[in-house]
Structure 1
Amino acid sequence: MQTEEEGFLASLTEDARYRMLIDAITDYAIYMLDRQGRVSSWNPGAARFKGYDAGEIIGEHFSRFYTEEERAAGVPALALELAEKEGRFEREGWRLRKDGSRFWAHVVIDPIRSPTGELVGFAKITRDLTERRQSEEALRRTQEQFRLLVQGVNDYAIYMLDREGKVASWNAGAQRIKGYTPDEIIGHHFSRFYTEREREIGTPTRGLATALREGHWEAEGLRVRKDGSTFWAHVVIDAIRDDAGEVIGFAKVTRDITERKEAERQLQEAQAALVRSQKMDALGQLTGGVAHDFNNLLQVIAGNLQLLSRDIAGNPRAETRVQNALAGVARGAKLAQQLLAFGRRQPLEPKVVSIGRFIKGMDDMLRRTLGSEIEVETVISGGLWNTMVDPGQIENALLNLAINARDAMNGHGKLTIEAGNALLDDVYARQHDDVKPGQYVLLAVTDTGHGMPAEILDKVFDPFFSTKPEGKGTGLGLSMVYGLVKQSGGHIKIYSEVGQGTTVKIYLPRVMEAEDVVTAEADGPVRGGDETVLVVEDDEDVREAAVALLTELGYRVFKARDAASAMGVVESGLPIDLLFTDVVMPGPLRSPELARRAKERLPQLAVLFTSGYTENAIVHGGRLDPGVELLGKPYSREQLARKVRHVLGNAAQQRVAEQQRAEKGTPRWPHPPSPAGQTILVVEDDDLIRSSTADMLTQAGHVVVEAADAPSALKALDACRADILLTDVGLPNVSGVALAREARARMPALQIILATGDDAAAPDAKELGGVLLLKPYSADDLLQAVVGLVGAPAPAR
C-alpha cells in the first residue's frame, strides 16, 4: 500500500521533483545564469553561503561574486566564454559574500542549450571549500615550516635515504658537517661517510638492517668528511613506513660530537691528574712525616759509626763492619731522599746550568758506571739554552736513567744522551695538562734495550713499581726523576716499544740568565777550624753525635735542645761564629725565626740549617729560600766538615765584599754606553718590574714615564712626547701589542720595545719595526735594546 509521502511524490511532475531536489541542497549553490551572466534562479544553498536572498540577487550579474582583481582582469566573462566553447568551465578561487567576506570556492559552469543547440544560459554550481582550503594551507605551511626547519638546522645533518641507502635529501647542516653540496651527494650511497675499516666490517649495512628490523638504530663512531678528515659522530637511523606499513626509506640524523668527546677526554685526564695529585700529596705527607724521624735515626747511627771508626783504626775486621754499616745508612738515606723527591718535598738548590756542559762533565763517570760493554754517545746541539735546576739532583737523575738503561740492555748495547732546544706549543700543552707552552731545554736518554709494553708505561713513574726482577731495585729511580722534573717546573715523557728500546725525554724551562759557576766539591782531606759553633737539636742522640763530630774537627761547640734555649746562649754575649740548627723542632719559636733573631744580635753570624725533612720552613715552591744553606740528614763527617767551612767562608767573603762596596761605592750594575735624553714610556703591570726597569733607564740618563696598563699609557702619550714605548705584552684587558699599534697610529715616529717571557710576539715586533726584549732581562739587555732603536730609521708609516 502506498504511503502518503510516496503518493505525494508520485503526483509531482518531473520539473517539480527536480525543483524540490535543488531546493533541498544547502551545501552547494546551484543556480542558473542567462546568456549574459545574470542570475535567473537561486537555491537555498546559494542563499546560505553567499548571503543573498533570491529577491536580492535574481537579475544581477554573477560577476559580483568575484573579487575586484578578477573582475578587472575579465575573469567572469572568460569563464562564460570557456564554458560555451568547451562545454564546461571548472576552477577554484576566492569568491565574495554579500557582506564582503571571502570564501574559497569550487566552481563549475555548464552551458544550457535548447533542443536545437542554441545557448540559452548556464548552470552554475559553487561549493564552499574554505575549510578544506584552510586545512590544506595549514598542512602546506606545516610542511614548509618543517622543510625550512630541517634546512635551517646547521648543527645536525638531517637527510633521507632510500631503501638501498642512497641519499635522497640533504639539509644545510649535512653540508656544513660533511662538506658535500646536495648535487654532489644525492643519489650516492651513505656508506661513503664511514671509515674504510667500518665499511670492511659492514657497519653501514648493519645499521640499515637494524633500523629495518627494529625501526631504529643508534651509534657513535668516527665518520669521514668530503676532504678526508674525520670527526666523531652520534648517528640515528629510523625506518620510514607508508600507510600500509611498508618501509619506503630511512631518516638519518648525524651530530658532530667531536667537541663533546674532547671535553670528555679532558675531563677524564683532569680527573686522572687529580687522582695522581692526591696520591702524590698523600705520599708527600707520609714521606715527610717519616723522613724527619727516619733521617734523625740514621744520623745517630752514622755519627756514632764515624766516631767509632777512629777508635777501631788498625782493626781491619772491625773497620770492614763499620764501613758496611755506613753503607747501609747511605742506602737508607737514599731511599728517604727518593721518596721525598717523588713527593716533590726535597729541598732544591737550583742554579743556572748549561746542560750540554753538564753532560760532558759526567762523561767519564757514566762510562765507568755503565761498563765497557755499553757504547755511550752524547749529542749536544749548538746554541743550547740554559736552564735552572739543582746540579746535584739532575746528576742523580741522569745517573738513574743511565743505570736503568744499562739494566734494560742486560749490560750490552748503546746509550744515547742528547741535549737540545725545544718549543712546546699550545697544541702540545692542551694535550698534557701539566705543561705550560714555552721554550725548554731537552735532555733525552735513549737505549737499545728490550723496551716496555704500553700497559707498563702508565705505571713506570709510580713509587715502588719496577720492571726489574725482585731484589734488583727499589722501584724509586724513575719516581725520583719524575718528582725532580715536576718540582723544577719541567715535563717528562717516556716512549717505548717492546723490542725497540726506550727514550726518556726531560723538558726543563729555559732561563735567560748566564750560567752559574758551579764549584766541584773538594776531594782532598777535610779540615776543621777553631771557630765557635752553636748546635741546636731537639733529639739528644743526634745533638750529641753532632757535637762530638764538630769537637773532633777542632771547633769550640755550645749546644741547645730547642730554639728558646739557643736564644739564651746567643743573648749571653758568648762569641758565636756559626748557628747550626735543626729545622723542625718543638716549641713556639721556629728555627727560621731563631736565625733571624740571632743575626739581629750578632750581625756577623753565619747560619747553617740541617734536617731530614724541611716542611715549608725554609723551602717554598720546592726550593730553598734565597741565601739559605742546608745540610741534609743523614750527613757524614766529611760532608759536615766541608759544609761548615763553606758557610763560614761565604760569610767572611760577604763581609769583605760589603766593606769594599762601602769604600769604593761600586755601581749597582754595569751597562753599555747609551745615548741619553730619550723619553721612554714604560708600561708594566708588575710594580716591582716596572720600578726596577725605570731605575735602570734613569741611571742611563733617560727620562722615564711609568704606566700600569694600556688606558694609563694612552693618557700618558697624550700628555707627553715619548720617543720609545717599552710595553709588556701581557697587560691586563688590552694586550701590549694592541697598545703598541694604537700608540703607533697616534704617533707614527714612536719606537717600540715589546717585553715578554717568550718569543711568540716576535712577528708583532718585526711588523712594528721594533725590538723584542725577552724576560728576564738584565740592565745590559735593556739598554742594548734602547741602543738598537736610537738612531734607527723612523718606522714606516
Structure 2
Amino acid sequence: MAEDLVAISGLSLTLRMWPTARLLKLYRVTHRWQWPILIGLPFMALALSYAVYILQRHYVELKTKDRALQESEIKFRSLVEHSLAGVYLIQDGLFRYVNPRFCEFFGYNSPEEIIDRKGPLDLTRSSDWPVVEENPGRRQEGEVESVNYVLKAVKANGEVFDIEVYGAKTLFKGRPAVIGMLLDIAEKKRLEEQLRQSQKLESIGLLAGGIAHDFNNILMAITGYASLLNMKLKDGALRNHVDQILKASDRAANLTHGLLAFSRRQLLQPQPVYFGKIIRDFEKILRRVIPENIEFVIDLKDKRAVMVDQGQIEQVIINLATNARDAMSEGGKLIIETFEVAFDDAYLERHSWVNKGGGFVCLSISDTGDGMAPDVKEHIFEPFFTTKGVGKGTGLGLSTVYGIIKQHNGFIHVYSEKGKGTAFKVYLPVTGSKPVDISHVSEFPISGGTETILLAEDEDNVRETIKEALEEYGYTVFVARDGEEAMTLLDEKSCEFDLMILDVVMPKEGGKEVYEKARGLGFRGEVIFISGYTINTIQNFILEEGINVLTKPFRPVTLVRKVREVLDSSEKER
C-alpha cells in the first residue's frame, strides 16, 4: 500500500511539472476562453507519438523485406551462375544475359564476349536458322508461352555440337524478352545411339536365329539322305557327286552356325578355364594363319578363370585374328593380350548392364592395319556386313563374335582409327570355379549295337534319316512325332529303352518335359538332345554336366558315333 501511495505521489508531481499543468494555470488567470485548445494538446501529443511509432515499424518492415529481396536475388543469381545448364536472356535479337555455363558450352572465356554482341544466329549452324528465327519471335510476341527444340550449335572454334533449348517469354526493363536454358545433349545422343544399335542387333538376331533354325532342319534332311546314299553307293563317280553335296551342306551348316551364334541361340557347354591357356593351346593354329610379314606378339597376364565353351572362344579368337590379318595386307603388328580388369564405381554407374560382381578378364586383339571409319564401325556386328570384296568374306565373322560373347554374359568394345589400326577388347566375367583341363579327344570310332532307342523329332525328313541310319547300324528304333507320342511310348515301354534321342523344341511337349517325365516313370537310361537352337527356358537345363547335345545340322554318322560313345560310357560307369 505504501508503495502505491509513493507511486501516485510521484505521478501527481509529474503532472504538476508538465507544461500542460502550467498552461492550465495560466488559462485560469488570463485566457479562460482558450480552454478547449489547451485541453486537446495532450491528445495531439499522443497522436503524434503513435504516428512516429507506425513510421518506425513500417521502416523496419521495409528494411526486412529489402534484406529478404537481396538474399533472394543472391540465391537465385547463385543458382543461375552455378547451373549445369546454359541460361540466357534475349531481347531485340541479342543476348542480354548469359551465365558462365553458357559461355563454357560455346567456348567463350566470359559473358562479356557474348552479351550485347552476339545473337542466337551467331551461335547456330546455318541449316537451323529458320528454327531459331521462328521460335524466339513466337515467344516474345506471346503466341506461345514456351518452346522446346533441338538444334546444331556452333562453338567459338567452329565445332558443331547438339543442344536442347528450352525457352519462355518474360519482361526485361519493362519490355518483352525471351529467357531460357540449353543443355549439351552429346552424351544423351551417344547413349540413345547405343540403345538403338543394341535394339537393332537384337532384332536382327531374333530374325537370324529363326531363319537359321528352320534352315537347319532343311539342311539336316539334305545331309541325312546324302549320307545314307553315300554309304550305299559303290560307284566311285556317283560317290564323288554325293561328297560334293555333303561338302556344300557343311558350308551351309557353318553359315547357319554363324547366324545362331550372333542370335545367341547356340548350345553352349562351358567349363572353367584360363583364357591364356586357350590361347597357348591354340597358338600353333594361329601362327599358321598369320603370314610372316606380320609381327605376332602374345602377352598373357590373366590369373583367374572364366566360364566358357572353349570351342566357341576359339572361334572368337580365330575370327578376330583373321580380321586383323586381312587389315594388314602390307604387313604390320598383331598383338594378343589377356589381363584382369576391375571397373570403378563411376564406370559401373554409367554402364548399368555391366555385371557388378567380381572382376573381368579382358582379351585384347589389336592390329596396326587400315582401321575403320566411324560409319563402317557402326555396322561391323551386323550379319552379312562386310567391307571385303566379293567372294572374300561372308560378313558373319564379327556378328558371330558378338553373339558368342553376349551369350557368355560378356561384352566387347571396339577402338579404331582410320589408317592407324583397330583393337577389339572382349570382357568376360571371372568365375570362382576351379579350372579344368579341356583337351580335344579323337573321334570315337563308328560302330553299331543292338540297344533300343526312342527317337522323338517333329520334322518328318529329319526323323526318317536318323531312324534309317541307326537301324543301318543294328539299333532298334521307336519314333515319335512330338512329345505327347514320346510319353505314350514311355508309358508302354519305358523299361525297354536304353537311350532317348529328343528334339529340344517339339509340339505339345518339348524334350526337357519328356526327359523329366521319363525320369519320373523310372527311366534310368541315357539321353541325347538334338536341336537347331536352344531357348532361355531350357538353356540352363541343357548345360547341366553330363547332358549330351548335338546341334543341327549333323551327319547321321556323327549321331551314330555319339550314340555308341554315350552307351559305352554308361556301361563303364555301371
The bucket for the TM-score relative to the shorter chain is 0.7 to 0.9
Which one of 626, 639, 652 corresponds to residue 571 of structure 2?
652
The answer to whether structure 1 residue 199 and structure 2 residue 120 are counterparts is no
Report the CA distance shift for 1:309/1:617 in structure 2 as closer, same or farther (over 3 A): farther
Which one of 381, 384, 388 corresponds to residue 303 of structure 2?
384
**Contact 1:527–1:553 (Cα < 8 Å) also in 2:** yes
Between the aligned residues of both structures, percent identity stands at 33
Match of 1:156 in 2: 79
Q: Which amino acid aligns with 1:209?
A: R
**Contact 1:39–1:58 (Cα < 8 Å) also in 2:** no
Match of 1:145 in 2: 68
Query: C-alpha deviations, 1:76-115, integer Å up to 9, x for none?
Result: xxxxxxxxxxxxxxxxxxxx7435752249xxxxxxxxxx
Secondary structure of 2:529's match?
strand
Match of 2:506 in 1: 585
Match of 2:482 in 1: 562
The answer to whether structure 1 residue 347 and structure 2 residue 270 are counterparts is no
Residue 387 of structure 1: how far off its partner (Å): 0.5
Q: Could you tell me how far apart the structure 1 residues matched to 2:392 and 2:75 are?
A: 67
TM-score by length of 1: 0.54
The answer to whether structure 1 residue 98 and structure 2 residue 21 are counterparts is no
Which one of 305, 314, 318 corresponds to residue 395 of structure 1?
314
Within-5 A mapping of 1:705-784: none
**Contact 2:456–2:486 (Cα < 8 Å) also in 1:** yes
Residue 378 of structure 1: how far off its partner (Å): 1.2
Report the CA distance shift for 1:419/1:211 in structure 2 as closer, same or farther (over 3 A): closer
Match of 1:229 in 2: none
Match of 1:667 in 2: none
Which one of 344, 359, 364 corresponds to residue 439 of structure 1?
359
**Contact 1:194–1:204 (Cα < 8 Å) also in 2:** no
**Contact 2:335–2:367 (Cα < 8 Å) also in 1:** yes
Q: Could you tell me how far apart the structure 2 residues matched to 1:568 and 1:364 are?
A: 52
Match of 1:791 in 2: none
Secondary structure of 1:579's match?
strand
Which one of 204, 208, 215 corresponds to residue 116 of structure 2?
208
Residue 557 of structure 1: how far off its partner (Å): 3.2
Report the CA distance shift for 1:430/1:578 in structure 2 as closer, same or farther (over 3 A): same
Which one of 292, 300, 317 corresponds to residue 213 of structure 2?
292
Q: Could you tell me how far apart the structure 2 residues matched to 1:211 and 1:534 are?
A: 81
**Contact 1:536–1:580 (Cα < 8 Å) also in 2:** yes
Q: Could you tell me how far apart the structure 2 residues matched to 1:304 and 1:254 are?
A: 73
The answer to whether structure 1 residue 630 and structure 2 residue 549 are counterparts is yes
Query: C-alpha deviations, 1:623-673, integer Å up to 9, x for none?
Result: 7355432101001245324432343244335x44xxxxxxxxxxxxxxxxx
Secondary structure of 2:108's match?
helix
Q: Could you tell me how far apart the structure 1 residues matched to 2:37 and 2:377 are?
A: 99
**Contact 2:409–2:428 (Cα < 8 Å) also in 1:** yes
**Contact 1:560–1:566 (Cα < 8 Å) also in 2:** yes
Which one of 414, 423, 440 corresponds to residue 503 of structure 1?
423
Match of 1:417 in 2: 336
Report the CA distance shift for 1:526/1:204 in structure 2 as closer, same or farther (over 3 A): farther
Q: Could you tell me how far apart the structure 1 residues matched to 2:166 and 2:475 are?
A: 82
Which structure has the greater CA radius of gyration? 1
Secondary structure of 2:535's match?
coil
Residue 433 of structure 1: how far off its partner (Å): 3.9
**Contact 2:501–2:527 (Cα < 8 Å) also in 1:** yes
Residue 357 of structure 1: how far off its partner (Å): 0.5
Q: Which amino acid aligns with 2:346?
A: V
Residue 492 of structure 1: how far off its partner (Å): 0.9
Q: Could you tell me how far apart the structure 2 residues matched to 1:138 and 1:211 are?
A: 42
Report the CA distance shift for 1:55/1:280 in structure 2 as closer, same or farther (over 3 A): farther
Report the CA distance shift for 1:448/1:637 in structure 2 as closer, same or farther (over 3 A): farther
Report the CA distance shift for 1:203/1:464 in structure 2 as closer, same or farther (over 3 A): farther
**Contact 1:221–1:233 (Cα < 8 Å) also in 2:** no
Q: Which runs of 5+ in 2 are unaligned?
A: 1-17, 24-32, 87-97, 123-135, 141-147, 156-162
Secondary structure of 1:610's match?
strand
Q: Could you tell me how far apart the structure 1 residues matched to 2:427 and 2:309 are?
A: 14
Q: Which amino acid aligns with 2:75?
A: G
Q: Which amino acid aligns with 1:103?
A: A
Q: Could you tell me how far apart the structure 2 residues matched to 1:235 and 1:426 are?
A: 32
The answer to whether structure 1 residue 520 and structure 2 residue 440 are counterparts is yes
Secondary structure of 2:315's match?
helix
Q: Which amino acid aligns with 1:336?
A: T
Secondary structure of 1:103's match?
helix
Q: Could you tell me how far apart the structure 1 residues matched to 2:255 and 2:473 are?
A: 29
Q: Which amino acid aligns with 1:205?
A: E
Report the CA distance shift for 1:407/1:287 in structure 2 as closer, same or farther (over 3 A): same
Q: Which amino acid aligns with 2:404?
A: L
Report the CA distance shift for 1:466/1:599 in structure 2 as closer, same or farther (over 3 A): same
Q: Could you tell me how far apart the structure 1 residues matched to 2:212 and 2:312 are?
A: 18
**Contact 2:106–2:154 (Cα < 8 Å) also in 1:** no
Across the aligned residues of Structure 1 and Structure 2, the Cα RMSD in angstroms comes to 4.7
Q: Could you tell me how far apart the structure 2 residues matched to 1:276 and 1:54 are?
A: 103
Secondary structure of 2:441's match?
coil
**Contact 2:363–2:427 (Cα < 8 Å) also in 1:** yes
Residue 309 of structure 1: how far off its partner (Å): 2.6
Match of 1:407 in 2: 326
**Contact 1:39–1:59 (Cα < 8 Å) also in 2:** no
Residue 450 of structure 1: how far off its partner (Å): 0.3
**Contact 2:445–2:561 (Cα < 8 Å) also in 1:** no
Query: C-alpha deviations, 1:753-777, integer Å up to 9, x for none?
Result: xxxxxxxxxxxxxxxxxxxxxxxxx
Residue 221 of structure 1: how far off its partner (Å): 9.5
Report the CA distance shift for 1:234/1:441 in structure 2 as closer, same or farther (over 3 A): same
Residue 280 of structure 1: how far off its partner (Å): 4.5
Query: C-alpha deviations, 1:49-88, integer Å up to 9, x for none?
Result: xxxx97456599x9x79xxxxxxxxxxxxxxxxxxxxxxx
Residue 461 of structure 1: how far off its partner (Å): 1.8
Residue 521 of structure 1: how far off its partner (Å): 3.4
Q: Could you tell me how far apart the structure 1 residues matched to 2:421 and 2:240 are?
A: 40
Report the CA distance shift for 1:453/1:431 in structure 2 as closer, same or farther (over 3 A): farther
Report the CA distance shift for 1:235/1:543 in structure 2 as closer, same or farther (over 3 A): closer
**Contact 2:494–2:523 (Cα < 8 Å) also in 1:** no
Residue 384 of structure 1: how far off its partner (Å): 1.4
Secondary structure of 1:102's match?
helix
Report the CA distance shift for 1:368/1:194 in structure 2 as closer, same or farther (over 3 A): same
Q: Could you tell me how far apart the structure 1 residues matched to 2:562 and 2:477 are?
A: 16
Q: Could you tell me how far apart the structure 2 residues matched to 1:369 and 1:153 are?
A: 67
Query: C-alpha deviations, 1:255-275, integer Å up to 9, x for none?
Result: 8x8xx868x946x56655654
Q: Could you tell me how far apart the structure 1 residues matched to 2:305 and 2:259 are?
A: 28
Q: Could you tell me how far apart the structure 2 residues matched to 1:646 and 1:154 are?
A: 80
Q: Could you tell me how far apart the structure 2 residues matched to 1:603 and 1:322 are?
A: 39
The answer to which structure, 1 or 2, has the higher relative contact order (CA under 8 A, 6+ apart) is: 2
Q: Could you tell me how far apart the structure 2 residues matched to 1:462 and 1:429 are?
A: 26
Q: Could you tell me how far apart the structure 1 residues matched to 2:253 and 2:239 are?
A: 21
